[in-house]
Structure 1
Amino acid sequence: MSNLPQPVISMIDGPARGIGNEFLAACDMIFASKNARFSNFKATLGLHPGAGGVAWMPLHIGRASAMEFVFSGNDIDPKTAEEYGYVNKAFDTPEGLYDYVEKLAERIALFPLGGLSSIKRTVTDTIQPRPEQIAIEGAEWDRLVA
């Protein structure tokens, strides 16, 4: 998703764990309701996240918080995720979440895709994990599952 030309906005109104959480880590923006929970529990199973969860997480929340998040396997609530910088904004109600994101998406949709794509590519190229980092995660997942 980080390589798509259009912005990718995620709304979370429930749990996002494991691969669901790793999916989010590659999105451009993440918004959550009070019902959201985020977790990457793979360390609790002796596994390594295999879809970029470890490579993306320090870019969102910093090294130390990423270590705590991935090593503990604990859920984090949306307010903590917002404080960490993992979600753009946490909402007290699902209605607030949907209303805000719908208006944001409608506004962004008014702008020419060429400009949006250029901005996204520049920001992403500045911070995204290298492709080989993602490949290493997949290889570690395969090795540990075997």
Structure 2
Amino acid sequence: MAYTNILSSFKNGITTITVNRPTKLNALNRETIQELYEALTIANTHKKTKVILITGSGEKAFVAGADISEFADYNVNDGTKLAAKGHRILFDYIENLPKPVIAAVNGFALGGGLELAMACHFRVASDTAKMGLPEVSLGLIPGYGGTQRLPQLIGKGRAMELIMTAKMIDANQALNYGLVNHVTTADDLLPLCEKIAAKISNNSSIAIASAIKAINANFKDGENGFEVEIEAFGSCFGTEDFKEGTRAFLQKRKANFPGE
């Protein structure tokens, strides 16, 4: 499928989706958000895709924020609709995808860019990355889940400070905070993500989807994460992946999961 603002490629079980607006520092506009949704939907239904990577083009930015020129003249109703649609078709959508989504943060991840990274299941950063939520410096607050996901990842106090000061942190501080899982060089960023993705791909995709659902349940109001885990654990016993996994273990061989 042809896109205007993103690139999508598949290799060795991994679909890599690249935000490709380098002259705009890969800023998110409405069209880019829609294209990301479409590419993610295709990757999710592509049986051979085991892991999805999201990154940005060029050396400067992962996604340097939302495209402010698009909403500078919005009113209250427009802004509310913008945030609601973004949550629905991209940020919440990524968080709840049954296939693992890794953010390869290769530069500035600010505002909506950091929110995009935080919606992914985990993050790996280059040592040149800078992250922050500067919305209050524009008279706004984060509108794509930043006020919710950042405290979940780094704690309430640190999130309050980052959002209120609108400051950026570097990759090593993000690692110290638990905002990213790994920091590496720019050259090694995608290879490291691909290495992690390959390890994930060796495991049961059905079990991984169940694990994502159970982990997310712990952070959702009105859901009992323990009950979701119990139900998901039980359902695994009815899968072909469980049968293959246990057979392989008992036969002392590597499992070949059918994903069923």
Q: TM-score of the superposition, structure 2-length normalised?
A: 0.48
Kindly tell me: are residues 76 and 98 of structure 1, through their superposed partners in 2, closer, same or farther at Cα, counting changes over 3 Å?
Answer: same
2:206 — aligned with what? 114
| AA at the equivalent of 2:107 | G
In structure 2, do the counterparts of structure 1 residues 64 and 81 end up closer, same or farther at CA, with 3 Å as the change threshold? same
Identity over the aligned pairs, expressed in percent?
33
| Equivalence for 1:73 | 166
3-state SS, counterpart of residue 76 of structure 1 = strand
Q: 1:128 Cα shift?
A: 4.8
Structure 1 unmatched ranges of 5 or more: 131-146
| Pairs within 5 Å for 1:28-47 | 28-47=121-140
1:104 paired with 2:226, answer no
Query: CA RMSD of the aligned region, Å?
Result: 1.4
Select the structure with the greater relative contact order (CA < 8 A; seq sep ≥ 6): 1
Cα distance change on mapping 1:101 and 1:129 into 2, 3 Å: farther
For the residue of structure 2 that corresponds to 1:49, the secondary structure is: coil
Q: Deviations over 1:124-146 (max 9, x none)?
A: 1112578xxxxxxxxxxxxxxxx
TM-score normalised according to structure 1 size: 0.83
Matched residue, 2:95: 2
Q: Which has the higher helix share?
A: 1
Specify whether residues 38 and 128 from structure 1 end up closer, same or farther in structure 2 by C-alpha distance, changes over 3 A only.
farther
- For the Cα contact (< 8 Å) 1:16–1:39, is it kept in 2? yes
Moved over 6 A (4+): none
Structure number with larger C-alpha Rg? 2
Structure 1 or 2: more strand by fraction: 2
Aligned to 1:61: 154
Structure 2: which amino acid aligns with 1:123? I
